[in-house]
Amino acid sequence: MTKTALITGATSGIGKATAQILAKNNYKIILCGRREDRLIELKNELSAFTEVHTLSFDVRDKKAVFESIDSLPETFSKIDVLVNNAGNAHGLDSIQNGDLDDWDAMIDINVKGLLYVSKAIIPKMIAQKSGHIINIGSIAGKEVYANGNVYCASKHAVDALNQAMRIDLNPFGIRVGGIHPGAVETEFSEVRFKGDSKRAANVYKGFEPLRAADIADIIHFVVSRPYHVNIADLLILPTAQASATIINKS
Ligand code: NDP
Ligand code: 8X3
């Protein structure tokens, strides 16, 4: 039977690539994000392969999260796969110089947003006695690096929540797994550096970073394992990267 995947942050980067690969592999797709033009464009592209529904909401807005998910039409209401991907870094400053609005954004989007979306979907998975949740963490959730403070804390929280969800949802047969990428060239650094494209591009200079499609491919592998196999935790790095800060650059 055709499965349905809901992907947050599907307007760009890892989320968009995940929607593309799952659509081509017979999943019905629910695309989520704030930028409606991009949602519509991607829906048009993926409709050649599968049924697609779009939900435009800010994961920080808990009312919008619950209303959007409650509004799903019957044909999309059984969610088999949730990819908790929406997130970003905002700024790269020392703890003493950090911007409070950046801190709020990272905690509210990466942690609380992930929780709101999960809370809106988990009861449905419990009722249907099946489901698979993929939480997108980061190498920043495994290590802390200079000036990464609050972003690293938010991704450590995702790592903890991933483990906690797996324990709490274990009696219901729901699979939970974390995917923790290193450097992936997406709009991530553009957002982190607030549109400074030169600084963003510099992050990926001198080595071959991961592409969004590399992570999407792995997400597809994880969700397509037989039901008795749950890939609980994966750290995926570009070959040139050994740790959050050790990157072999030419
Ligand atoms: P992008 O900036 O390319 O994509 C981020 C996505 O998140 C966009 O689709 C954006 O959609 C969505 N998003 C951001 N804020 C909100 C919000 N408030 N409400 C709803 N959606 C939101 O970055 P990536 O693809 O790289 O990032 C995806 C995930 O991967 C993030 O969780 C990130 O932390 C993680 N990650 C990224 C790495 C990298 O090096 N790129 C490495 C490790 C982890 P829209 O703006 O339309 O709402
Ligand atoms: C994104 C990767 O190393 O910039 O999560 O934190 S890093």
Q: Which ligand is nearest to the CA of 236?
A: 1
Tokens of 164: 């906690």
The overall pTM is greater than 0.95? yes
Residues with catalytic function: 151
Ligand 2 centroid distance, CA of 215 (Å): 14
**Whole-angstrom distance, CA of residue 111 vs CA of residue 87:** 9
List, in order of start, the domains of the chain with CATH numbers: 4-236 (3.40.50.720)
Per-residue pLDDT tens digits for 31-77: 999 999 999 999 999 999 999 999 999 999 999 999 999 999 999 99
Q: Are 44 and 22 in contact (CB under 8 A)?
A: no
Please name which ligand lies nearest the alpha carbon of 110.
1
**Prediction ipTM score:** 0.99
Query: C-alpha dihedral over 51, 53, 59, 62, to 10 degrees?
Result: -120
Q: Would you say the CB of residue 104 lies under 6 angstroms from ligand 1?
A: no
Instruction: Please check the confidence at residue 1 and state whether its pLDDT lies above 90.
Output: no
d(CA 221, CA 123): 25
